[in-house]
Amino acid sequence: MGQTTVVQPTQESSRLSKFWIFILRFQSYFGLIAILVLSAMLSPVRNGHNIFLDPNNLLNIVRFASENGIIAIGMTLVILIGGIDLSVGAVLALSAVGAASFMMRNGLGTLPTIFLVLSLGSLCGLTNGLIITRFSIQAFIVTLAMLTIARGIASLWSGGYAIPLAFGDAPGVAPASFKMLFAGSFTVGGVDIPVQIFYFIGVGLIAGMFLKRTAFGRHVYAVGGNETASRLSGVNVNRVKTIVFTISGLLAGLAALLHAALVNQGSHIDGNGYELNAIAAVVIGGTSLAGGVGTIVGSMVGALILSILDNILGLRNIPSEYQMILKGVLIVAAVLLQRQRR
């Protein structure tokens, strides 16, 4: 499994099939356009002003997609090699507790905190990767174990309550630069753009280029497509896998920095279910859970679609249960459509 085969259509159905194939190839983009149009139509209108299309609202949609999007980018890489990472939510919580603890209890500055938190996330990912490859245990099991271990450590570290983050320049509070750096906004042409968006797009660009332009990227697709063949072709499969899981942990750490700055606390119960949201974004974006097929941009679009869903239901004051149902339907629809491509 791995190659997209384009079926040669017969004479009569050729035009229709070509159109359908075109849609399927860019399914996530068309999905995005469809949900944007639907939301704009369903949006409440006030004084002739469409609330959904209000620039602030659209920026908010991207802002709230950023955390999940960054985690989803890491998850894409993991799923591409045929694995899964169930620990990202817990690693986020652990890293957020770490960030709050470093700044509030240990009096560390912004830069040391960033370095330590990203290292912590990477370490969790590295541990996952090493155990999976050295002991040949399935990713599902190892990352599930890391999930519970990380939550336990987070709970002990925080002392059982969420560590509040107060920002300022006085001693005993976290540096204001941290808040600005991870939850502030950047004014461009009179519009306040939340910084989370820059991290989201930045990570997406780097990861995308990484995958498309480097040998390592090709190895990732190869390992996911056919592990045995890639190993026989000389690819160091264990190294590829370990690096991918480390990146997943690193990105969970980055998302934790954004998270802590947004919610003003480091809590050991945060990030619950984040791994499932990330997987949903990845699947809706067109990546196959079997591995070897998928794109970074697709997952970013998937994260946006989920955020739009959250947003329009909130604007319309619809109970969150409907959002849960719709999310599930979207996931299955995305997988079904994806299967048609083969």
Partner 1 sequence: MKTVRMFAFLALLVVLVMTMTACVAPATTTTAPAAGAEVAATEAAPAADAQAPVKKDKYLIGMSQANKGEPWRQAMNDQIAAAAAAHPEFEVVFADAAQNNAKQVADVENFIQQGIDLLIISPNEAAPLTDVVAKAYDKGIPVIVLDRKVNGDKYTMWIGADNQLIGQKAGEYIATWCKDQGHTPCNVIEIRGLEGATPAKERGDGFRAGIAGNPDVTIIASQNADWLREKAIPVSQAMFQANPVVDVVYAHNDPMGEAAIISAENAKIDLSKIAFVGIDALPTPDGGIKSVMDGKLTVTYVYPTGGAQAIDWAAKILEAGEKPPATVVLETEEVTKDNAAELYQKYGGK
What residues line the site for partner 1 (CB under 8 A)?
Answer: 44, 46, 51, 54, 56-57, 60, 64, 135, 155, 160-164, 259, 262-265, 267-272, 307, 310-311, 314-317, 319-321
Amino acid occupying residue 148: T
User: How far apart are CB 124 and partner 1 at their closest, in Å?
Assistant: 17
User: How far apart are CB 56 and partner 1 at their closest, in Å?
Assistant: 7
For the record, the structure tokens of 60 come out as 């908010």
CA separation for the pair 137, 152 (Å, rounded): 22
User: How far apart are CB 240 and partner 1 at their closest, in Å?
Assistant: 22
Q: Which helix (H) or strand (E) holds 299?
A: helix 296-315
Return all residues near 209 (Cβ < 8 A) that are at least 6 apart: none
Q: Compare residues 165 and 282 and give the one whose CB is closer to partner 1.
A: 165
Q: Compare residues 23 and 263 and give the one whose CB is closer to partner 1.
A: 263
**N-to-C CA span, the chain:** 9
Q: Compare residues 23 and 35 and give the one whose CB is closer to partner 1.
A: 35
> With 0-12 CB in 10 A as exposed, 13-18 as middle and 19+ as buried, what is 314?
exposed
Q: Compare residues 52 and 245 and give the one whose CB is closer to partner 1.
A: 52
User: Which residues share a beta bridge with 265?
Assistant: 164
Q: Compare residues 53 and 229 and give the one whose CB is closer to partner 1.
A: 53
- Tokens 């980018």 correspond to 73
Cα angle: 241, vertex 304, 19; to 5 degrees: 90
Q: Compare residues 164 and 208 and give the one whose CB is closer to partner 1.
A: 164
Dihedral sign, Cα of residue 263, residue 267, residue 273, residue 279: positive
Q: Compare residues 14 and 314 and give the one whose CB is closer to partner 1.
A: 314
Distances (CA, A) of 216 to 127, 200, 202, 241: 20, 22, 19, 11
User: How far apart are CB 295 and partner 1 at their closest, in Å?
Assistant: 26
User: How far apart are CB 10 and partner 1 at their closest, in Å?
Assistant: 48
Phi first, then psi: give them for residue 265, nearest 5 degrees.
Answer: -165, 165
CA separation for the pair 122, 199 (Å, rounded): 17
- Tokens 């540096």 correspond to 175
**CA-derived radius of gyration, the chain:** 21
User: How far apart are CB 192 and partner 1 at their closest, in Å?
Assistant: 9
User: How far apart are CB 339 and partner 1 at their closest, in Å?
Assistant: 32
Q: Compare residues 54 and 210 and give the one whose CB is closer to partner 1.
A: 54
Neighbouring C-alpha atoms within 13 Å toward the C-beta of 318: 16
Return all residues near 39 (Cβ < 8 A) that are at least 6 apart: 52, 308, 311, 312
Contact 268, 158 (CB under 8 A): yes
Q: Compare residues 226 and 264 and give the one whose CB is closer to partner 1.
A: 264
User: How far apart are CB 227 and partner 1 at their closest, in Å?
Assistant: 19
User: How far apart are CB 273 and partner 1 at their closest, in Å?
Assistant: 10
